[in-house]
């Protein structure tokens, strides 16, 4: 049960990951839902929580997420969307962007309006449109008959329907209208993401020069890296203007491919995402991803027809633990990739993404094995630590 954000909570004894590095035996003061300056005396009503032997890191920020807890962000009711949001919060994602999948334009326009209301009430951080402006050659788990070229007028229609809450649009920028749509999005402060693309290296460079800044789930749904025909992966990894999304679930990427991209781009240019669908935090079974049927077995989601990977069942606490324990990345680097980088991209770094005075008290408590033990959002415990 969440506790009130009113009053003061002092977290002591943990390894606290700050923008300047890790503070051993750190002290973090939370007051009225925000991180406060530490003071020698917190006040007589302050609650002190001893987190010795634990880590405290910023709340996770997921900029590419289609749902969870059995609920879809693309088609669910308001209550179902909130169920998905709560599911991911319980796994440390205190800031989540709702990603849609390809559908009829009229449906997506209506959906943008519905999701924008949930953003406005503070439960979502924005909307990401993944499709319908993607390549039929690299459609993945998107309905081919609903795909279309990225006509700037239609892209603008979706952005307008979101009433200022659109954060990102994934495009196959090599399609007719793609470059003009990138420019349109950049002019409106919306991230243009290159993904589900069959672009060449040269076409990808052109899109980056036009204003694209993100690679949607790098490697997945795009041509493989080649030594004579390098394709989009080389262009996206080499350009300092691009942040690459990576899905670290052990299914979407071989560990060597993950580490190659991570070390080539560097911690400052990676955003760890889930690309989660309804089954995240819920279990195996049959699901719908837009109009397409999905079977989840042993935690891996695939289309019933064709067998393409259909999103993930990943939660970001698992991605964090895997990045540290399997990929052997420094904790501070993982914090940048799972919190600070996406917060900056989304224009939210003034409020979330790091543990600094004045920001929302969004944080995650992990034990020595990097297993989640607590989650706080805006000063309230979503998962209250039960410490031995």
What's the count of helices (H) and strands (E) in the chain, helices before strands? 10, 21
Please list the alpha-helical segments (H only) found in 34-177: 78-89, 105-120, 152-161
Say if strands 363-366 and 372-377 run parallel, antiparallel, or are unpaired.
antiparallel
- Structural tokens at position 129: 């449109």
Q: Residue 9 and residue 30: Cα distance in Å, rounded?
A: 5
Whether residue 275 lies in the annotated active site: yes
Between CA 130 and CA 56, with CA 349 as vertex, the angle to 5 degrees is 105
Q: Cα separation of 28 and 25, whole Å?
A: 10
Q: Which of 275, 278, 317, 362 is catalytic?
A: 275
268 vs 109, 209, 314, 322, 350, CA distance in Å?
34, 20, 22, 18, 17
Q: Are 274 and 89 within 8 A, CB to CB?
A: no
Taking the C-alpha atoms of residue 101 and residue 129, their distance in angstroms, rounded to an integer, is: 7
SS3 at position 50? strand
State the catalytic residues.
Answer: 275
């Amino acid at each position: 049960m969440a506790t009130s954000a009113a009053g003061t909570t002092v977290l002591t004894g943990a390894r606290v990951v700050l923008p300047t590095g890790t503070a051993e035996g750190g002290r973090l003061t939370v007051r009225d839902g925000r991180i406060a300056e530490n003071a020698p005396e917190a006040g007589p009503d302050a609650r002190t929580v001893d987190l010795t032997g634990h880590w405290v890191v910023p709340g996770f920020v997921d900029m590419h997420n289609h749902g969870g807890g059995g609920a879809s962000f693309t088609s669910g009711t308001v209550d179902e969307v909130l169920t998905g949001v709560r599911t991911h919060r319980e796994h440390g994602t205190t800031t989540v962007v709702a990603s849609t999948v390809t559908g009829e334009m009229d449906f997506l326009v209506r959906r943008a309006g519905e999701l924008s209301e949930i953003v406005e009430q503070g439960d979502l951080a924005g909307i990401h449109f993944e499709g319908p402006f993607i390549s039929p050659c690299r459609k993945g788990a998107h309905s081919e008959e609903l795909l279309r070229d990225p006509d700037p007028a239609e892209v603008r229609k979706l952005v307008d329907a979101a009433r200022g809450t659109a954060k990102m649009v994934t495009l196959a920028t090599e399609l007719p209208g793609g470059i003009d749509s990138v420019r349109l999005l950049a002019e409106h402060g919306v991230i243009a993401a290159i993904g589900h693309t069959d672009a060449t290296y040269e076409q990808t460079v052109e899109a980056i020069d036009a204003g694209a800044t993100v690679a949607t789930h790098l490697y997945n749904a795009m041509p493989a890296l080649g030594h004579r025909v390098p394709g989009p992966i080389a262009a996206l990894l080499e350009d300092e203007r691009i942040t690459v999304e990576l899905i670290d679930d052990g299914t979407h990427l071989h560990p060597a491919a993950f580490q190659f991209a991570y070390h080539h781009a560097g911690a400052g240019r990676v955003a760890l995402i889930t690309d989660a669908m309804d089954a995240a935090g819920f279990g195996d079974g049959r699901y719908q991803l837009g109009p397409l049927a999905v079977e989840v077995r042993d935690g891996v989601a695939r289309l019933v027809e064709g067998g393409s990977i259909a999103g993930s069942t990943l939660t970001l606490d698992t991605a964090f633990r895997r990045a540290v324990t399997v990929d052997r990345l420094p904790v501070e680097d993982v914090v940048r990739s799972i919190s600070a980088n996406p917060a900056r991209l989304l224009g939210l770094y003034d409020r979330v993404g790091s543990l600094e005075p004045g920001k929302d008290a969004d944080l995650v408590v992990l034990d020595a094995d990097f297993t989640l033990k607590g989650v706080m959002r805006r000063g309230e415990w979503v998962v209250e630590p039960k410490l031995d």
